[in-house]
Structure 1
Amino acid sequence: MTAPATTLETDKSSTDTRRPLSVFGLDFVGLVVALFFFAWSLSPSLIPREWYFQGLISGVTGIVGYGIGVLVAFPARQWIAPRLTWWRRRHTVRRIAEVVVALVAVGTLLGSLLAAAEWQNEIRALMGIETTTGFAYLRTGLVSVAIFAALLYIARGLRWVGRRFAEFLATRLRVPVAAAGVLAPVILVLAVVVFVDQVLLASSSMAARIVFADDNNSTDPGVEQPQIPERSGSPASPSSWESLGRQGRTFVAGGMDAEQLTELNGAPALEPIRVYAGLEADGTTDEQVQLILDELDRTKAWEREILVVAGTT
């Protein structure tokens, strides 16, 4: 009766050795790298970030770091950890490491967020924007954790689908097991890329245009349609005033004119040229680019000494 018990204990010990070290149900190495990426994403930005936008960025950055950590740790876990069965105190070290990393994780989250709040407030003060409190910025952490968890479970769900698909290829379509193990993830990745590019991004872009349509169709106070031919949206321009959008109308109507530049420089100045194509312009992106080129031809912008091309942020 003792032999089966000994065998069972040995099998249990071997299984425990192969079990990845985890904290909060997350891979140890993956969590460490994810925390590093999370803190990195909170470094000072060029312009202030709202707490929810920073939360989105940090959540995505954290899951990328987690994936890199799991990938890097895989060889050691696969080929080195099984050889450590002789180390009797490995279970004690495991428990201590789990507690330490859990405390470090919480401390890193709170410390990074409070430091990021100070950095963001410095940028806000420089730009004359109302500051926020450090504790209010902790909402960023909640958003980051939610995004991280959602993406993690999506990735695990895709992994489960990939395994089931590999089994389907091997059992139903008689594909060799090794080939099925390679084909399944490749096909799954291609399907995800097509879905994100053709469905998710396209639909989100269209949804954003619908949501912000009213704002885009408005005009800032004091902005009036230019009448000089050097500006898009003028009567001489094929790019209509209505198609420019709110920011486009502000752009073509702004800036100094020739008279102001002459007074400023003390020498005769040419009328500045400002051309713009809005999202409401008819046609595809290529046709909108061609509209810009036609405007540069029409206004003889190529003859000027300086040509500045500005894309949207």
Structure 2
Amino acid sequence: FPDFMIYTASNSKGDRVNFGVFGVTIPSNPKDFVHYDDIFNESVRAYNEASENSDFVVGLTHVSVEQDKEIARRIPDIPLIMGGHEHYNMIEQVGKSVIAKADANVVSLYVHTLTYDPATKNLRVDSELVPVTDKYSSKPEVQAAVDKWNKILDQNLKTVLDDPYEVVYHAVVPLDGTDTASRSEQTNLGTILGKSMSLAYDDKPDGAFSNGGGIRIDDRLSGDITGKDVFRILPFGGSVLLVDMKGKLLREVLDYGLNASGTGAYLQRYNIDQNPRGEWLVKGQPLDDSKTYSVAVNDFLMLGLDIPFLTKDNPGVLKIYTPKENEIAGDLRKSIIHYFKSGGK
């Protein structure tokens, strides 16, 4: 992909305006075969290069709002940053720069109207948050693209599930998979996820936890739930590791997750709670720093991307069991489907 694009718009008088768009994104889940540069330095570079042939330049980003604000501080003349990442709508102002983000999962979108006067070179930005409802019909070309990718999705689901549309659970009480809850409090869906991870190892672990940011559906599920719905909840999948770690490290991990409330690093837990004094309990007993605990952990968390010190190289990590692909623990989605189909046993 190019670092920036330049587009041309014109009015009925034949006046023309060139505007540039550059983009940066967070280096989430980095790979060895990809080169990553500093998002702030690259934003400034791309903005400056695009400005050479543009009347104005805007940003299209997928970074945190604090990073968007820093970009705006480094590029004080940027009029608009169209952002993402936080999953809920917001609009911020840094100097004369507008930072706008709509809700995730096409719940809403921002419509930005940019009015440029070629004579004065003045640019006005008007931003409106618009809910996406059924009153807006899909364009045929958009629906064709959706149908194409749904077909690809179904083909891929069938490599994991015999029947992605089989009902695996009936939720009488809605399961809370909303982003806000998953990233800030223990939810009933988070408890089910943790329990299914533990049951993948016959409920032998002392506890289980996963990053709340891995729950992506941003919705409450009730009634019949299919295998496909489970993939909507946990699209990233991954395996369930069995990790032996010292109590001191476990405490540090739990404290980090608690302090990360509002982010994807907040932990959804099973058999790990706090008493009224805020002390950590594992299976109802006070956490002992000197004790070794066996915990079920999703493999993503052990990469150190959400909790920087939680890696296989941490001296507090004593042993890691990685399941085979055909084991229930080999896929997080399989573990929760197994839990649902077995009636939670």
TM-score normalised over the length of structure 2: 0.23
Could you say which structure has the higher helix fraction? 1
Of structures 1 and 2, the larger Rg is shown by: 1
